[in-house]
Structure 1
Amino acid sequence: MKERHTEERNTQYSNKDGYIIDFISGKEIKGTPEEIDATQPFSKILIQDYFYTKDQIQTRPQWRVKSSPSDKNGNYPIDIAIFKNDQKKDEDLYIIVECKKKTQKDGLKQLKDYLKLSSAELGVWFNGNDTPVYIQKITKSNGIDFQQIPNIPKRGERVQDIGNFKRGDLIVPHNLKTIFRILRSHLAGNAVGTTRDEELARQLINIIFTKLYDEKFKSYEEIVDFRAGVDEEPIIVKKRIDEIFIKVKAKYKDIIEFNEFITLDANSIYYVVGQLQNYCLVDAQRDVIADAFETFIGYALKGPQGQFFTPRNIVTLMVEILDQTPDEMIIDPACGSGGFIVESLRHIWKALDEQGNKLNWGNLALNEEKQKAGMSKIYGIEKDSFLSKVAKAYMAILGDGKGGIFCEDSLEKPENWARNTQQSIRLNSFDCLLANPPFGKDIKVIGIDKLSQYKLAKKWKKEDDGFKITSNQNTEMPPQILFIERCLDFLQEGGRLGIIIPETYFHAPMARYVMEFMAKHNIFCLIDLPHNTFRPHNNAKCIAIFIQKNKPQQEKIMMCAMQEMGHDHQGKEIYRWNSIDEESSGELWDDIPLIIDEINHIKAQLPIHKEQHWIQTSLLHNKTLDGKYVFWIESQEVQRTKVYVPRYYWKKKEEDLGQFAEKEGCELISINDLITSKIITYFDGHGSPESENKGKGEIPYIRVKDIVNWEIYKDPTSKIPLKVYQEMHKESKRLQEGDILYVRRGSYRIGSVAMVSRFDTEVLLTREILVLRVKEQNKLGITPYYLLYLLSHQITQEQAKNKILIETTLPNIADRWRELKLPIHKNKEKIKDISERIKSAIDAKWSAIEKIQNIAKELGALTT
């Protein structure tokens, strides 16, 4: 697996269904496709990248262009109106942006009509999917004419200033995903010679390298060569870009082949340069190359190879934790386009800046040390030849580290690597390693010769309370398992690694041998990555584990848990919820900066200890107070539970829920305590019948999806014959009215509950459904109705999120449902009141069901 960044989206959603918050006005508006895909993203670009202010932009209410001088109200609404100042007068209208979902031809015609009827000088047409078009109105003696321009000017600039940039004028981009999506759309529809995404990606990346080179080798006062002026011919711009690329190839001839050229046509190059020329990509917060590659290659081409890119904020967090120093040798054995190694280089440069400042180094000495770090301390291996070239070129341009990137299979026997790879990369020689290896259900490593290197490729058998290796060899293995062992092979004694692998290996009984293999070393940190981390491209829920090779297990393990990291399952940005005002706060819901703040707070309290990692120093000086997201767990406790998933131990969340329960007048009592006290008994579901029996009888077969809204749905297509029911049903598992059904396994349904009615006692339950039964007249006064309430309570449901762990891609609470603490009211009259109210509602529902069934019997064989 490679590095990937969260997709940059620009829409802030309202709590009102179907509505969003307008970025400019802050008003609640309908979330139409035009707003979400075009108006809101372009509004954000105007503010962040062109520096226009919200005071000089109007979106809501829409500014209207008059159809004639006598028109007092204005007949034509404008999607985005940009004024020369904040007075917002007709005569100060400067730029009109139209964002309608229509063809370019129709959109431009309408835009030109608006420009003719107004004082605006410039226009933009953008529908969110197709290429944005920028036009300038030119008033002549014989009428009005229009010309297309490469971009619009930034605030305070003139049209003629477009393309006349000094290196110091370039700005850090905020919307790279949007920009690259626009470029991809334009090139796919207009580039001459190729429209294939893979080839377009190669071409765009070559152009990006020319820009990076131009930025790196220009002083702040020099005019950049990577530019496209308003009146320049595209062929002139293409010639200038080709000349930069010749310099790139000359300087990095061992990376970019002599016969490689930028083959895009002049008009395409002119457009790409026009879109990128405002920005400084060297200083971009996101990995420019990975953003470009991912935007163009897409899921279809990346997926089979497991090339899902690690979000940049995750990369930054892992580098902060591993905390490489300038003296350490670093490697990423699955480096992709270079995200981990580039971030590691930046981290080392930052340390060198601090060291140079402290020791009064001059710029020459500092640059020598930085170049030395890039050339001799950082290494990467990548199996994909194109990606390895990209990583080489990226490292070469940023840090002259081109010689440290090799195109090899890290899992292959080292003696089968190329000679120059063997000379530069040896096992047991690196101090630090970061990796996000490829994984996916369809990716397998085969070949007995290759697999014979690995203990983890052997078959393991369960023995006593653990697993024991056998001499039998597997014929194929998932790469992520082998990468664990190979990453440890790369490290010298005491070396540190951070690696991302699926969560199933951190708790699932059948995968426990992998965890036991890792636990032979010192596990010093675990990060619980949100399930959305690699979505929408990959549904895997992952953990980042940090290991120190061949060192005894430290007393406490530092753990990091978070709820969100910036985007949802569709890749859209998500925002924190303001529960007081019941609306979105507008703040990106990314817990990672808060985790880094807590980590930096710990580091700031520590004395300098060159021979020891900062986490070990924290333990030595007892600086292990828990924060909200960073906390410390006794390693013996983790070894006892055999669960290495941080959210399972997230005490802060449980403490908050405990305080909430106290305010509600409740006491938290675990289900296990209720079982021990014999207030509750339980048993599993009956099992699953053969598929050939489904839909062939009258007995309902109840699956996870059938537990909804506190009742049991009887799917007529799943009913089974009575004979099958009698064979699978046991008297000890006979259902009774008032039993509570609890879903304990199944995607997104865990924690759903239903009450068994008098109509539901003869059904067959899948094993994923648990049956809970309340003892009558118990000492706490709990009734089945109250238990239904308790299991549905927010406090219980929130706890379950920390108990539900992922096996491959399927959530499972296993037996951890017993650990859930129920918020039981201390006042028994309150328990009685809640029970009676829920009983009344349930009785009414059951009465309605009975009436419907009677009608069905009277009127014939009806399906309800």
Structure 2
Amino acid sequence: MTVPSQDVLRKLFSDLMDRLASGDANVVRPDDRLSELCNLILLKLDGDRRAKAEGEEAEVRWRALSTPEDTARMIREWFRNFTRVYPELFTSEEERTLRLTDRSIHLVVEALEEYRLIEAGSEAVAQAFQVLRTEALRSADGQFFTPQSVIRAGVLLAGVEWDDLVIDPACGTGGFLIETFFNLAERAKGDPAQAVRWAQTHLYGVDKDHVAVKLAKAVMQIGGDGSAHIFRGDSIRRHEWSKSFPYLQSELKEGRFDLVLTNPPFGKDLVVTAEDLDASGFSIHRAGGTSMKKVPIGLVFLELAYWLLRPGGRVGIVLPETYFFSRSYRFVLDWLRPRLRPLVVANIPMEAFQQYARAKTSFFVFEKLASEPDIEAPVLFLNPHTCGIGPDGKDIPDNELWEHVLLSKKGELPPGAVQVRLGEVYRRGVLVPRYYDPRYEEPLNRLLEEKGLEGVSLGELVERGFLEYRFGHGSPDRLNRRGEVPYIKVSDLRAGRVNVNPTNLVPREVARRLWRGEESGLRAWDLLTPIRASSNIGEFAVLLPGEEERVLTKEVLVLRSTEEGEREGYTPFYLFWALSLRAVRESWRRVTLMQTNREDVGDYWKEVRIPKPKSPSWAEEVSRPVREYLEGLVQAQRGLLGLRAQEEEGFTFVPFLRPPSVGDKESENNPGGNTST
């Protein structure tokens, strides 16, 4: 027998899946085919391990006999006895029975009999198993294949010690467990066998999916037989353990583990009810005075990790960032504060999971507190922009995630990294690397220094009464988008203009309902920008005279200069000039976070800074080109007034040619409304 290479194994496994799909009528579902192939791979590994132990004289059990019927009969009997070794994995009569046809079993035995899988090397086999792992993990269930680049960086970031008892309570196919073994094996330079012994006693894993657990066991057997403590079961619902998963009750104890490494499933419908949470002793759904009826399962796994850890133990976990900045999840930081101290947060670029979902994630490392948190302690934020995976899901050489983790482990700060006081993190209510990355503010800081200017935040302008703000009105349903009042979506705010889409016009009665009155509340020269669900956040458009009758989607922020603000130089034209500076626009990226899978600024727009005018006359001078441009647009629109008479004669025009409601004496004399000239 020969030892297969990684490439040989990948092709072999892929070919077997294809041949079973086309030639076996007993198992028609992909999951069933995968489960059956996993059963046979486990059996092959069992035979290889026994042969290795008994030496050259050992009987070769895994072999094709003279007929498919004889081969299948032998394999079925062997498998029946094998299932008794893992009763927690094969829990029903159906699972203890091979369902493949005799011919398919014979085919698999023939394909594998020339190879010694057990000696192929755990890393080679783990990589080859990606063919099967990708099949095993179904995005519809929120079970996403965690890329090796993310696993490798996460294990190094969390730090694995020889004394650590490690568990992944949502282990899937064992990616974090096998990487933990690799990490320890690299350090066992004197006696590599010590890493194998360590894996046998220090690695634990649990998952509900029986196919994923089989793959995890197979990989860990090859790696060093760290499969003894990989269980199938529901690690969340502890109240069901005694009845359904008694082996979990005996193995998973409160405070037993030193390190939890996991990427729990996440998705819109993956939640745990308050009833189950109460029954299992969880508390996160009642943190901060809340009383949640259901909680995303990822947050429940975070509390499970807290329960499993001893004081001083660590958890490294992949979670969506929305839990750590969104107003809807403020209770999460309230729950964290007395329990888990954040040590490191590393950005995971979108490309990592883009094949499965657009949820923006980070890798979080927390320490279980034994006493009150030290608010002076630092939290390290890493914000790499690449992770070795391209937008198409294929490997690329650029992997800042790994590079930044390596530098941080050496005590160095990579580009964009920063250490922030824990007290400051809780004051700001944000635990997301992007928010603290100083690179987004550097262009503006350079500009201010070069021009001898000071910066002032939009929030400060609001507090001083120089600026007012409001948000959009709301969204009509699609059945109410035929009328005469333009409905403005975030995509309509482009190139400084509030564009009208002729397919989005609402009846006036619908507009009044969304306005909550007879008028829109908008004024000429208001500045508009998307603040949610748009890549154009921070790009402003100006509402010209005659465009006040608009319905704005609620994802729009409206800024308006006050009379007092204009006296200080903050005219609409200056604000538009300042907010259109490339350096200011770049700074919006810092506060544009991802709420699940949509961009969201929340209240953090108030932190955006613009140059403070040296004087009102200076502000008027630098913004003069903007004023002339906008007033020129108003003049150009007045050219359409001649169409008004034609409309009265029965001609009707598309929305952007509709005659504007301007031309009265006040507008002609002062096109900037209350703006000083």
- TM tier, shorter chain? 0.7 to 0.9
Q: 1:820-835 counterparts in 2 under 5 A?
A: 820-822=608-610, 832=621, 835=624
Given the alignment of the two structures, is residue 861 of structure 1 paired with residue 652 of structure 2, yes or no?
A: yes
Q: Which amino acid aligns with 1:861?
A: T
1:720 paired residue among 496, 501, 506? 506
Cα deviation, 1:293-345, whole Å, max 9, x if unaligned, reads: 21x346xxx23432112221111111112211121111111111111111111
* CA distance in 2 between partners of 1:509 and 1:310 (Å): 28
Match of 2:388 in 1: 566
Residue 850 of structure 1 deviates from its aligned partner by: 5.4
Separation in 2, partners of 1:400, 1:507: 41
Whole-angstrom distance in 2 between the partners of 1:208 and 1:824: 69
Structure 1 residues 176-231: Cα deviation after superposition (integer angstroms, max 9, x where no partner) = 6x997777566645667655322332355457668878998889xx9xxx9xxxxx
Please list, as runs of the form range in 1=range in 2, the aligned pairs for 1:747-766 lying within 5 A after superposition. 747-766=534-553
SS at match of 1:836: helix
Q: In structure 1, what is the Cα distance between the partners aligned to 2:447 and 2:5?
A: 46
Deviation of the 1:405 alpha carbon: 0.9
Native 8 Å contact 1:187 1:268 kept in 2: no
- Equivalences for residues 381-530 of structure 1 within 5 A: 381-411=206-236, 412-413=238-239, 414-416=241-243, 418-446=245-273, 448=275, 451-456=278-283, 458-459=285-286, 467-468=288-289, 476-521=294-339, 522-530=341-349
- Give the counterpart of 2:354 among 514, 523, 535: 535
1:374 to 199, 207, 210: 199
Q: How far did 1:667 drift? A: 6.2
Match of 2:379 in 1: 557
Q: Verify the 8 A CA contact 1:189 1:195 in the aligned structure 2.
A: no
> Does structure 2 retain, via aligned residues, the 8 Å contact 1:598–1:630?
no
Task: Name the counterpart of 1:772.
Answer: 559
Map 1:79-228 → 2, pairs under 5 A:
167=3, 171=5, 173=7, 188-189=21-22, 194=27, 196-205=29-38
Between 254-263 and 339-348, the greater mean CA deviation after superposition: 254-263
**What is the TM-score when the length of structure 1 is the normalising length?**
0.62
Structure 1, residues 263-304: CA drift from partner, whole Å, max 9, x if none? 637778878999999x9563339644344221x346xxx234
From the superposition, tell whether residues 854 and 566 of structure 1 become closer, same or farther in structure 2 (CA, over 3 Å): farther
Moved more, 766-775 or 429-438: 766-775
- Using a 3 Å threshold, how does the CA distance of structure 1 residues 291 and 698 change in structure 2: closer, same or farther? same
Task: Give the SS at the match of 2:594.
Answer: strand
Structure 1 counterpart of 2:373, which letter? Q
Q: Distance in 1 between matches of 2:27 and 2:82?
A: 28
Distance in 2 separating the partners of 1:780 and 1:627: 41
Aligned residue-pair number: 626
Q: Determine if contact 1:671/1:818 at 8 Å carries over to the other structure.
A: yes
Question: Equivalences for 1:633-644 in 2 at 5 Å?
Answer: 633-644=420-431
Change (3 A) 1:668 1:183: farther
Instruction: Answer yes or no: is the 8 Å Cα contact 2:169–2:235 preserved in 1.
Output: yes
Describe the shift of the 1:379–1:844 C-alpha distance in structure 2 as closer, same or farther (beyond 3 A).
same
Contact 2:39 2:214 in 1 (8 A): no
Q: Deviations over 1:73-128 (max 9, x none)?
A: xxxxxxxxxxxxxxxxxxxxxxxxxxxxxxxxxxxxxxxxxxxxxxxxxxxxxxxx
Distance 1:475 1:249, change over 3 A: same
2:673 is matched with which residue?
none
Q: Any idea what SS the aligned residue of 1:816 has?
A: helix
Cα distance between partner residues in 1 of 2:620 and 2:521: 28
Q: Distance in 1 between matches of 2:278 and 2:127?
A: 34
Q: Structure 2: give runs of 5+ residues left out of the alignment.
A: 91-95, 656-677
Equivalents in 1 of 2:590, 2:430: separation in Å? 12
The code of the aligned residue for 2:227 comes to: K
State the AA in 1 paired with 2:602: A
Identity of paired residues, percent? 24
Post-superposition offset of 1:822? 3.4
The Cα RMSD (Å) is 4.6
- SS of 2:643's equivalent in the other structure is helix
**One-letter code of the match for 1:548?**
E
In structure 1, the residue matched to 2:85 is 254
Shift of 1:245: 11
CA-CA distance at 1:426 after TM superposition: 1.7
Q: Measure the CA separation in 2 of the matches of 1:792 and 1:515.
A: 35
Q: Residues of 1 paired with 2:447 and 2:13: CA distance?
A: 46
How far apart, CA to CA, are the structure 2 residues paired with 1:591 and 1:234? 52
Matched-pair contact (CA < 8 Å) for 2:454–2:612:
yes
CA contact (8 A) 2:155 2:179 kept: yes
**AA in 2 matched with 1:451:** D
Instruction: Return closer, same or farther for 1:242/1:519 CA change in 2, 3 Å cut-off.
Output: farther
Go from structure 1 to structure 2 and tell me whether the alpha carbon gap of 1:208 and 1:406 turns closer, same or farther (over 3 Å shift).
closer
Q: CA deviation at 1:849?
A: 9.3
Structure 1 residues 812-837: Cα deviation after superposition (integer angstroms, max 9, x where no partner): 10121121233689899898467526
Distance 1:759 1:408, change over 3 A: same
Separation in structure 1 between the aligned mates of residue 15 and residue 512 of structure 2, nearest angstrom = 62
- TM-score, normalised to structure 2, is 0.78
Q: What's the counterpart of residue 403 of structure 2?
A: 594
Cα distance in 1 between the residues matched to 2:223 and 2:100: 21
Give the structure with the higher percent strand. 1
SS of 1:528's equivalent? strand
In structure 2, the partner of 1:609 is none
Q: Is the 8 A contact 2:7 2:128 kept in 1?
A: no
CA distance in 2, matches of 1:842, 1:648: 37
CA separation of 1:752/1:238 partners in 2, compared to 1, >3 Å: closer, same or farther? Answer: farther
- Determine whether 1:847 maps to 2:636: yes
2:122 aligns with one of 273, 278, 282: 282
Give the Å deviation of 1:547: 1.9
Choose the corresponding residue for 1:545, options 345, 364, 386.
364
Which residue does the alignment assign to 1:155? Answer: none
1:315 counterpart letter in structure 2: I
Q: Assess if the C-alpha contact under 8 Å between 1:742 and 1:771 holds in 2.
A: yes
Equivalent of 2:154 in 287, 294, 318: 318
Q: Distance in 2 between matches of 1:853 and 1:281?
A: 81
Letter in 2 for 1:711: R
Distance change (3 Å), C-alpha of 1:182 and 1:655: farther
CA offset at residue 799 of structure 1?
2.2
Which has the larger helix fraction?
2
State the match for 1:740 in structure 2: 527
Counterparts of 2:494 and 2:637, CA distance in 1: 17
Q: Distance in 2 between matches of 1:248 and 1:282?
A: 23
SS of alignment partner, residue 565 of structure 1 = coil
In 2, the alpha carbon distance for the partners of 1:199 and 1:348 equals 34
CA contact (8 A) 2:196 2:223 kept: no
Q: State the alpha-carbon separation in 2 of the partners of residues 235 and 846 from structure 1.
A: 93
- 1:558 is displaced (CA, Å) by 1.6
Equivalent-residue separation in structure 1 for 2:568 and 2:97 (angstroms): 82
| Residue of 340, 346, 351 corresponding to 2:182 | 346
- Give the structure 2 partner of residue 56 of structure 1: none
1:694–1:717: 8 Å Cα contact kept in structure 2?
no
